[in-house]
A and B are shown apart, each in its own frame.
Chain A
Amino acid sequence: MDERIGQTEAGRAPVMEPGYTFGTVTDKISSIVLTRPTSNGWFLGFGVAFLLTMMMLYAIAYLFVKGVGIWGVTIPIGWGFAIINFVWWIGIGHAGTLISAILLLLRQSWRNSINRFAEAMTLFAVSAAGIFPLIHVGRPWLAYWLFPYPNSMGVWPQFRSPLIWDVFAVSTYATISLLFWFVGLVPDLATLRDRSTNRAAKIVYGILALGWRGSARHWDRYETAYLLLAGLATPLVLSVHTVVSFDFAVGIVPGWHTTIFPPYFVAGAIYSGFAMVLMLAIPIRKLYGLEDFITELHLQNAAKVMLATGLIVAYGYVIEAFMGWYSGNRYDAFTLWNRLHGPYRWEYYALLLCNIVIPQVLWIRKLRSRPIALFSVSLVVLVGMWLERFIIVVVSLHRDFLTSSWGMYYPTRWDWMTYIGTIGMFLAAMFLFVRLLPMISIFEMRTLLPEAEVKE
């Protein structure tokens, strides 16, 4: 443990403000769930998010009745918002796994205060993402054909297709994240079970706690399981978005067919993921007075990660542009020209602004420690990353090889309703989470306390 409570060597912010004991930590976190009355703000926020979710369901129902024609997709732009949002959400999901798994293996103790809701965030983001591949197909009721199963047609899916790889990548990812998150929750669920006063809560938390008694054996098994899952999850952080990037890289469309995609997609994913983490962490620590647990250090680190990944993404853009010119391929060259001068140039400029220019302010330490600033930068980055996917999907497709079949893409209100709807769903889930589960890992916070120091 490099950072000790209280001492802030080299002006580094502490991982947790001083003056806490096992008891107080547990109180502070579990009280949010158990004792504190639900605020009107929560009801308002949840209400809005819930309505947005309903809007999404309506949009999807109408989609199933009429067909994907209600969206802006067309020939040549066969993929629109659905795929853009899918990639965007999956990307956001990455932060959770990264924080909980990789930082765990790297013994980054500061992760302890944010991994819990980061993982929850991941889970919700992935489920939001999961909706799109399903509903964007022309005949959703047959989407199960993408899964390999012994059917009466005697045929198998086509394993050369990146979409099949997606099916495996994303479903594995969802499963692992869920397990990881839940296993991590077990000890805390037990705490809630023991601390909750009303019987119903006791029963629910009790069932979820799987009879956790905190015995040495339990802890031992828990640690092994948790490490194993971390080990499983770590490669996923890299693999999932790599596979997603293959959806494009494997295609021959100019602007898709490039080898830089996997690394640059993964970086982008973590970039947007951390932006989302910050956007959640900042209000939460404020509203629930958790500044002591989610300290400036966390903001600082998260900001640094964003800065780093942001630069990798920038490098990706540069290489793309360079290749467009250097390859001498008339189609790639045109794609570059089209991004800079074509009908969607403003989107492209906005993308550069959001993902490259503005985030550079994070070099300034003062800004890194100023929540409002960080919040807005994160917002900008999230917008930017969405635009990046828009550029990749739409702007590459709308002008490909034959000038005769160039076209334009106009999203319809149904596109927007579905997109905003998923954001609503994501938020609704988050609201429920902070209300019903400990949003910060209680026992892992306790390991940060001096009492937890193992004396050799």
Chain B
Amino acid sequence: MQIFHRSTNTISRATIYGAVFLIAALLWAVLELQRSPYITYAKVARPQPVPFSHQHHVAGLGIDCRYCHTSVETSSFAGIPPTKTCMNCHSQIWTGAPLLEPVRESFRSGKSLVWTRVNDLPDFVYFNHSIHINKGVGCNTCHGPVDRMPLMYNENSLQMEWCLDCHRDPAKNLRPREQVFNMRYEPPSSLKPLTLDGKEYTDQMSLGTDLVKKYKLRTVTDITSCSTCHR
């Protein structure tokens, strides 16, 4: 007697070939997952005690990054403004705004505001703001259009491959130092050329390559050595 229906042959063949694709698909899914915002939080705004809007303060009021992030040029850590900094203005304006109550409360009680870290690197990564600023890496190169962010989120995945993407070819991201804090800076193009030291640049690469020399960037081997970021 016959246990298996004739169709079994086809089914079995199908499954054998199918399995190959299935496994491939699974692997692909995992690789996608590890880069997805679910893991990296990229472009995901975090809950904050006060809905602070960079858009309003930077674009709207034109406050410079360094007004709040004071140590960005001198220290590894850019600095999170103490409540005092907020109160410099908010003791004058919006003094009654309920949104700002946590800030006033903190100032009264001396208890800090507890923000949620947005651009959060793992603890075994030792990033230094000051040197990146110094070498002409713009704020928004990594942090994205902060001046267009009503609520703060990290623009990029902040994963190692992302860091390496630049460390393996810094030229494509460098800009003149004086442009570092310019949120609306655009890389030179034939339409909007950029002149630096009397030389006119119409594309990023030529500018970048010159800046690499001008700002004495260390070689790619140097800045891709593990101890550059890990200790």
Contacts and interface: CB of A to CB of B under 8 A. Distances in A.
Touch between chains A and B, by CB atoms below 8 Å: yes
Interface of A: 149-155, 199, 202-203, 206, 210-211
Given A150-B31, A211-B9, A206 B3 contact: yes
B161 to A, nearest CB: 3
Contacts of A154: 159-161, 164-165
B159 A153 contact: yes
A183 to B, nearest CB: 13
B9 A153 contact: no
Nearest to B164: A154
A210 B12 contact: yes
Given A151-B34, A152-B35, A211-B8, A203 B159 contact: no
A406 B157 CA distance: 47
B34 A199 contact: no
A203 B161 contact: no
A43 B96 CA distance: 82
B4 A152 contact: no
B3 A203 contact: yes
Contacts of A155: 160
Interface string B29-44: 0010011000000000
Contacts of B164: 154
Interface in B142-169: 157, 159-161, 164-165
A203 B2 CA distance: 10
A361 to B, nearest CB: 50
Nearest to B40: A152
A151 B31 CA distance: 7
B4 A206 contact: yes
A149 B34 CA distance: 12
Nearest to B27: A149
Contacts of B157: 152
A151 B12 CA distance: 34
Interface in B162-196: 164-165
* Shortest beta-carbon contacts, A-B, top 5: A154-B161, A153-B160, A152-B159, A154-B164, A152-B34
Contacts of A150: 31
- Of the candidates A151, A152, A199, A202, the one having the most CB atoms from chain B within 10 angstroms of its own CB is A152
A152 B12 contact: no
A153 B161 contact: yes
Contact of A152 (B3, B8, B9, B160): B160
Contacts of A153: 159-161
